[in-house]
Amino acid sequence: MRTFERTIFALILAATPVATSGFAFDGAPINQDSTIPVVTAQPGTASSLKKVVPTVPDTSLTALEYAADGPNPIAQWRLGRMYALGDGVDQNDLRAFEYFSRIADKHAEDSPSAPQAAIVANAFVALGRYYLNGIPNSKIKADTERAREMFSYAASYFGNADAQYDLARLYLKSAGSSRDDFRYGARWLGLAAQKGQHQAQALLGQMLFNGDQLPRQPARGLMWLTLARDSATPDEIWIRDSYNKAIAKASEEDRAMALQMLEHWVQGRRD
């Protein structure tokens, strides 16, 4: 285990992001004291392997549970999501946590280019979000540092944009954040936004447009807010409100510059 921890620790350091020149984000390497976030499933949650393959259709809950009892991260992820959302089953966050933990336990060392890498990274993100608030009436208590470890691992090793956004928010929004915390947060936020994570784009756009802890760049901020608005889900009202406030305050020059930046962004994504 110590060899594994040293290996992953080195990978996290190697994956520390470089500031994007377009945003003038400077900073230092990501938290070098983070422990390796390998999660152990709660005692008594692993079902014993069944001896006979069930004859029910593959889409059934029973078939998924059978597959999840083996080394099948896709089935484990699907069941975790089902229990997290209450999709076809009674909503149960602890069961969801257990399935996500199995993935993190068995696949933390998988290559970032492996077919299941996105699922593994998303499992770490899901675990991090559970650790942020804890699970009521369970052994899973709110633990911000543990959440940070989950996000940091998925952000650094797997390059997961959602993890980068969640990690950025922890650095930027935590009470008593230091100047170094802000630099880390700004860099992770910029990386996530560049990858198309629309919540990161919205937050970065807000900060740039308003000059909130960053030099004010209203045109660039409006560009990010426009991108975020176009990708926002119906319930993400805060993104649309942020865009509407910015577009109402923006000068004609800022709007024209934002449009040019937006066209350049779209062209760059096509190339």
Instruction: Give the residue extent of every domain in the chain.
Output: 2-195, 196-271
Q: How far apart are CA 180 and CA 198, in angstroms?
A: 25
Write down the pLDDT at residue 99: 94
Q: How far apart are CA 179 and CA 171, in angstroms?
A: 10
Which pLDDT band, with edges at 50, 70 and 90, does 258 fall under? very high
Write down the pLDDT at residue 54: 33
Structure tokens at 246: 């910015």
Write down the pLDDT at residue 59: 56
The answer on pLDDT for 141 being more than 50 is yes
Which pLDDT band, with edges at 50, 70 and 90, does 33 fall under? very low
Percent of the chain topping pLDDT 70 = 78
Write down the pLDDT at residue 128: 97
Which pLDDT band, with edges at 50, 70 and 90, does 245 fall under? very high
Query: Taking residues 110-128, what's their average pLDDT?
Result: 95
Torsions phi, psi for 85 (to 5 deg):
-100, -10
Which pLDDT band, with edges at 50, 70 and 90, does 63 fall under? confident
Write the CB contacts of 159 (distance below 8 Å, at least 6 apart in sequence). 15, 112, 121
Write down the pLDDT at residue 17: 41
Write down the pLDDT at residue 27: 30
Write down the pLDDT at residue 271: 65
The answer on pLDDT for 217 being more than 60 is yes
Q: Is the pTM of this model over 0.95?
A: no
Mean pLDDT of the chain: 80
